[in-house]
Structure 1
Amino acid sequence: MRYVWWGNPIQEWATALAVAFAAAVLMILVRAFLIHRLEAVAERTETRVDDWFLRMLRNTYSLSIVILALYLGSLMLEFSKKYEVSLWRVAVTTMLLQTAIWADTGVRVWRRRYRQAAIGGADSTAGVASTAIIDFILRLFVWVVFMLMILDNLGFNITTLVASLGIGGIAVALAVQNILGDLLASLSIVLDKPFVVGDFIIVGEYLGTVEYIGLKTTRLRGLGGDQVIFANGDMLKSRIANQTRMFSRRVAFMLRVRYGTPPEQLAAIPAMVKEIIERQEKTASFERAHLRNLATWAVEFEVVYWIKTDDYFVFMDTNQAVLLDVLRGLAEQGIDIAFPTQLNVRPAEVYNAQDAALHWPPMDKGADKGAGA
């Protein structure tokens, strides 16, 4: 006697179960083999790709494997069109959910790797704050896209839903455009890295050390100890001078010598300054020293050299040493530094001088008497 269940003989059900069991065992074995191989590869390499695939394979759920195996076994059976469509939708939904889980796992692995790379660095605080929002946006995007695909696969009309989401998104974006602008500016700061936490920057008339980079604001610690807070959008609209990323610093100063200094001594000044700067061979590099101008009250020399460091304290120490040696060299050669002078005249003396000018030239007293007579 031949038993039939749901339009299929028992023998065909047994065949379908055998196919499903074999498919499930095969997929589980393949997953275990790939995990074992990727673990060995990940230990020998420093690339992130194998780590991503390893974590994604580990997040391949056995339930998904069983459902897909049962669907493969169901292909051995004959069902009505309605049941075939339902089974297909269940299988596709399972595949979409598993793919969404893989994508979500990839985003989380990226976030964990980014944070580990930032730990101990200057931008660790900014990295934690920024990757949190990037992680949230990417995972939200992944799940929204896959949920819409799942709804479409299950037979729902998502056209109206997508249109509604689009209109609602535009309304929300207009309502919070300033917040979204600062949020996107935060992502731009983190990804482009014009500065990181710990950098000394100049923004317009404000200068200080970057203390915090948040989702909406960036905070500087000023030289006076005050905290200056910028909106991220305003920060990116400004011109930013990042002093920390200077590989070298250019120093230019004017050396003013008193008039009356002999030309021979004036001619020796550039060579003396060059020898002083080149003495600082580890930190300074001489560029030029020239007599630039015969000014109103001084003979002016322009000196330019480079300090080969981005350390501000080394810069100040080197510049101080150079200036002190220049003063010593001028003193040894008997050359005086020029400085502007001011003649102090009492008001009465000014009045008498003006009065004398009005009666110039002076009149002969004898002539006056003769004329009077």
Structure 2
Amino acid sequence: MFVVGLNVSEAPNLLPSFWQDTFLSRTVLGNAVWNWLIACAIVLAALALRRPVSRLAELIGKKALSRDQETGAAMAAALAPAVRLLVVLIGLSLALQSGLLAYSEKVGLFFQHVIDTLKAVVLCLALAGVGVSLLENSTRKAKADGNKQTVTMHVFYRRAIQVAAIVIGVFIGLRVWGFDISGLLAGLGIGGLALSLAAQDTFSNLLGGLTIMTDHAFSIGDVITTPDVEGIVEDIGFRSTKVRTFTQMQVTVPNSRLSSNTVTNLSRVIKRRIRFSISLEYGTTPDQIRSLIEKLKTRMAAREHLIPENTIIALEKFSASSIDVLFQCFTKTLDFIQYLKEQEDILLEIMEVMEQEKLSFAFSALTVHLNDLSRQRETIEQAQPGVPVKD
């Protein structure tokens, strides 16, 4: 796959004749100072040209994808690290493998391994950049459509692409430097049992992350509540999930706990319930209760954000100190702040109707009857004459 470069025993004499007797003709590490300066100039030129070449590649990407310049710009930006490293790689190849410098066969083989390793890095950076840029293009469309599940899956896919690129680069690098990949894989197979026992929690968290992704239990940006934490999901990783609590604390929860515990996703409600009891005094007449219920039903039916067929207003029960009227309705408002505002407006309307009907809310009260001790004494004396009564 990789071709070994040219190794020379003698470097060519590139010094002009009128500088032959100067210090530039002196030999340092087997090469003339002039040749070293040329090699360094090539490398420095490559370092200086890497950013301009990257910008030029970005312009070419925009022109090539003129119908979708945003995609072209994203692709060029993702490929920019690979392009910059490629320019440096070309400079190193010209300086080390063009015959400008003379070195031994072992040194030449070392330089060849370095160049081939950089080629593998460029390849992996390019593949990862293309994959991530295409994925981010789909992610932008999913965000525009409000599809949070797709956005969450794309975050997981992006990390998988990056991990795969790193693994491929490592295996190619090991192959370049002469390591036996098959032997390494066999060694991993033998030590797999010990590794699995040592990293049991890590593997369970990885499986938990895959379970969360495949089940679509929640997405980034959802409000969830679990036995461990309650808040907004900020990130879902391979090992853990980060949740921002309502006290603005960031809590990191292992995926294995989330996948095994009950998770309530508060962001996926299709309607919100408003439920409470209206406690009336026991002096309220049945006609007043009927009038109250009818007027409340009429007013609730006129509210824009309520679902009329789900509204229930009815006499519920007789409590110890009040007559309770059940009030239950569902609102189409999903935002929590707007939900509280809707509930506030409903409560104020109930107060207005109560005032119109001249009704009062009942208070929890306990009536205590205190017996008169003098009457108790007279009763006992009449029942048992002659028996002294103690106070």
- If the length of structure 2 is used for normalisation, what is the TM-score? 0.55
Aligned to 1:130: 156
User: 1:237 and 1:359 mapped to 2: Cα distance?
Assistant: 70
- CA–CA distance in structure 2, aligned partners of residues 214 and 136 of structure 1: 13
Cα deviation per residue 1:160-179 (whole Å; 9 max; x = unaligned)?
76544322233322211212
AA in 2 matched with 1:302: L
**1:281-292 pair list within 5 angstroms:** 281=304, 283-286=305-308, 287-292=311-316
User: Using a 3 Å threshold, how does the CA distance of structure 1 residues 190 and 145 change in structure 2: closer, same or farther?
Assistant: same
User: How many angstroms apart in 1 are the aligned matches of 2:254 and 2:329?
Assistant: 38
Aligned alpha-carbon RMSD (Å): 4.9
> In structure 2, what is the equivalent of residue 339 of structure 1?
363
Gap regions ≥5 residues in structure 1: 1-38, 53-100, 151-156
Kindly tell me: are residues 174 and 136 of structure 1, through their superposed partners in 2, closer, same or farther at Cα, counting changes over 3 Å? Answer: farther
Matched AA of 1:130: F
* Match among 168, 175, 184 for residue 191 of structure 2: 168
Q: CA deviation at 1:276?
A: 2.2
Matches within 5 A, 1:357-368: 360=380, 362-363=382-383, 368=386
Distance 2:159 2:280 in 1: 61
- Code of the residue aligned with 1:118 in structure 2: it is T
Question: What are the equivalent positions in structure 2 for 1:31-46 lying under 5 Å apart?
Answer: none
2:328 is the counterpart of 1:308? no
Partner residue in 2 for 1:242: 265
Per-residue deviation at 1:235?
1.4
Number of aligned pairs?
278
What is the SS of the residue equivalent to 2:313? Answer: strand
Instruction: Rate the CA distance shift 1:221–1:102 in 2: closer, same or farther, 3 A.
Output: closer
Three-state SS of the structure 2 residue aligned to 1:264 is: helix
Q: CA deviation at 1:125?
A: 9.5
| 1:292 match: secondary structure | strand
CA offsets per residue over residues 200-247 of structure 1, 9 Å max, x none?
Answer: 211126321223333433232222333333112111212111112222
- Residue 118 of structure 1, aligned match among 135, 139, 142: 139
Residue 356 (1) aligns with residue 376 (2): yes
Matches of 2:258 and 2:168, distance apart in 1: 30
Contact 1:118 1:127 in 2 (8 A): no
Partner Cα separation in structure 2 for residue 264 and residue 329 of structure 1: 14
8 Å Cα contact 1:220-1:229 kept in structure 2:
yes
Give the direction of change, closer, same or farther, for the CA distance of 1:247–1:253 in structure 2 (3 Å limit): same
| SS of residue paired to 2:382 | coil
Look up the SS of the partner of 2:274 in the other structure. Answer: strand
Alignment of 1:74-113 (within 5 A): 109-113=130-134
1:134 shift after superposition:
0.9
1:178 paired to 2:204: no
Confirm or deny that 1:298 pairs with 2:322.
yes
Given candidates 349, 355, 375, the residue that maps to 1:325 is: 349
Partners of 1:361 and 1:146 lie apart in 2 by 111
Which letter does structure 2 place at the counterpart of 1:186? G
Cα separation, 2, equivalents of 1:226 and 1:336? 44
The 8 Å contact of residues 135 and 158 in structure 2, kept in 1 or not, is answered as no
**Residue matched to 2:230:** 207
Identity %: 21
**Residue in structure 1 matching 2:239, options 183, 197, 216:** 216
Unaligned runs of 5+ in 2: 1-61, 76-121
Which secondary structure does the structure 1 equivalent of 2:279 belong to? strand
Deviation at 1:113, TM superposition (A): 2.1
Offset of 1:335 from its aligned partner? Answer: 1.7
* Partner Cα distance (1:205, 1:335) in 2: 45
Whether 1:231 aligns to 2:254 is yes
* Contact persistence 1:129–1:215 (CA under 8 A): no
Aligned-pair CA distance for 1:270:
2.2
1:307: Cα distance to partner?
0.6
How far apart are residue 311 of structure 1 and its match? 0.6
* Counterpart for residue 275 of structure 2: 252
Shift of 1:271: 1.6
Going from structure 1 to structure 2, the CA distance change for 1:342 and 1:228 (only over 3 Å counts) comes to farther
Whether the 8 Å contact between 1:125 and 1:213 is mirrored in structure 2 is no
Query: Judging changes above 3 Å, is the alpha-carbon distance between structure 1 residues 251 and 205 closer, same or farther for their aligned structure 2 residues?
Result: farther
Deviation string for 1:1-45 (max 9, x for gaps)?
xxxxxxxxxxxxxxxxxxxxxxxxxxxxxxxxxxxxxx9998779
Contact 2:316–2:325 (Cα < 8 Å) also in 1: yes
| SS of residue in 2 equivalent to 1:340 | coil
Name the CA distance, whole Å, in 1 between partners of 2:293 and 2:230: 35
Contact 1:134–1:187 (CA<8 Å) still a contact in 2? no
Distance 2:162 2:66 in 1: 29
Instruction: Note the alpha carbon deviations across 1:94-151, whole angstroms, 9 max, x for none.
Output: xxxxxxx99997765333222344359496996786345311454467789999xx9x
Give the Cα separation in 2 of the matches to 1:211 and 1:357: 75
| Partner Cα distance (1:357, 1:280) in 2 | 64
Contact residue 205 and residue 240 of structure 2 kept, 8 A: yes
Distance change (3 Å), C-alpha of 1:132 and 1:167: farther
Partner-residue secondary structure (3-state), 1:277:
helix
